[in-house]
Chains A and B, each alone.
Chain A
Amino acid sequence: MKELSVPDELTGMTRAGRDEMARQLARDELKERWSLMSLTLPGFMLVLFVLALPLAWLCWLSMFDASGALTLANYERLLKPVYLSSFLVTFQLAFCVTVACVLLGYPLAYLLSQLPERASQILMAFVLLPFWTSVLVRTYAWLVLLQRQGIINNGLLSMGVIDQPLSLVNNFFGTAVGMVHVMLPFLVLPLYDKMKNIDPLLLSAAANCGASPAQAFRQVFLRLSLPGLTSGITLVFVLCLGFYLTPALLGGGKVSMWSMKISDTISLFGNWGAASALGVTLLVVTFGLLFGLRKLFGLNGGGKR
């Protein structure tokens, strides 16, 4: 057993010296890593203070009632019809809007991705302008369009198509239309990106193998665009669940979305227990859907060829 203070012939370092060196290296490595991560500190602290802690606090709150006792009453209350119908409406709306976006968005993304560069850039402006325009402005425009004395009703009346103005807004329909308008770019843009990357040679190859254009489209293009489509669907659905602005303005109070219930429960009733329970439920469903759908579609769209 060599003495710790005797230098090693090969390396000229003592065993103690070597260990000290190793410790110093480990310390330097740690210091470097921490100073790099500290760059994220301002952002991290902000998000912690503004978002993460409040949400955690809300979760905590939801489990206590007005007197301060631990309880599940807040969650039990969610089973009442008024809340259940709100869940139902929210899901119905999200579902309808998502389906509409797929039906409208897929052909749009398809054509945009197949057109030559100049044409698709010009047409893309029609998708980008709504995307960059404030949701408030767009929702206002729909209000103006769909009102009883709105543009669409006036136009239809003057053309004699109808005698009475249609009730196009302040209901489920109007809200859905407004939301489709907001959500469509969220589906089209990522889908367009994915579609652009599909190699046209694959379609030619399918045609060479004897497939009809419809078959080639179904078996090659559609399959390959599926990952983009599923991630778009996930995004749109989840966004619809938590959406506040458009239903608040176009729903006329008749479309009682989850988010509006949360807002009302606080601003009108000051009932933090109920509101936080609603909020936690929304959060859980949102994240559950995000991760669940990602796993589901990830398994399907990922490796298959």
Chain B
Amino acid sequence: MSKGSHRFALVATALVVLVVALALACLLFGSVDIDARSIFGILTGHDSDNEAWNIIVLRSRLPMIVTAMLAGAALSVSGLLLQTTFNNPLAGPSILGVSTGAGLGVAIVMLAMGGTIGGVFGETLGSYMATLLGALVGAGVVLVILISFASIVKSSTMLLIIGILVSYLASSVISLLNSVASEEGVHSYVAWGFGNFSGVSLEQLPVFSAILVLALVASMLMIKPLNALLLGTRYAQNLGVNTHRTRNVLLLITGVLTAVVTAFCGPIGFVGLVVPHIARLALNTSEHGRLLPVTMLAGAAVALLCALLSVTSRHGIIPINAITPIIGVPIILYIIINRRRINYFN
């Protein structure tokens, strides 16, 4: 076994243990104290006498854990794909405006529905699908804008700035929409914007999970061209990669991952940008065969940690987007300061 695969096995195992531990912690801890024995009883089919506990464990904590794991993995993979596609280690779904684009789509759909739907998702399947579609279209539009600018602007820093500008523009449109929306609509939109892994109900969970798992599996099938793309478009083409088609497929996967998470959980920042770096630093490689699974696991772990922190406060639920920068910013600063010593920048 080579040094690289040894390290991969070590990192992956450690992350699996961490994810399981964090998931257990999310089950055990929350705003309501429930003893561990009751929780495992409820999970194994022995309902507690306390009906509220049954509901909390099965309809709140369990879906939140699954949502956080999948959303974390999805955003992180989305960030990794964007970083490789745009040849830019500081790319990510939130910084490039993909999340905001999805958010704009959601806002438009919410307004079109009169801004009166309860929470982000209405009770009906129709409004639920419409919101999802709005997020997909919004993310798609931003990705198309990014692709067209990427062919004009060669500098990756400039592309980041364009992403930030697009994001501002989408935010301003969202604000304009909110100014004409009903108070209730604005309130639910603002609440959604805080980021929240508890927004997916047990009934919605299968659709949410199925789409994300499919897109994550699709990303695993792109490992070979992703590695070739690290050498740049010209080398990738010379290795037989249809770079045009590959980029479109990668951006489609990115769009789906980001849009679905954004529609259900709100525009969550930093996870997509930071987690691929955590994975690269842990593995000391850019090879996607190892990077992609570790990015998924690390993404799940980071999101579970955020979820845990958000629910264990004695003063109510802390928004996810208040936690992600606290984890993300120091890591990004560390990377920027040390980039000359980090292999994948050189």
Please say whether chains A and B are actual partners in one complex.
no
**A contact set with B: CB distance below 8 Å:** none
**B contact set with A: CB distance below 8 Å:** none
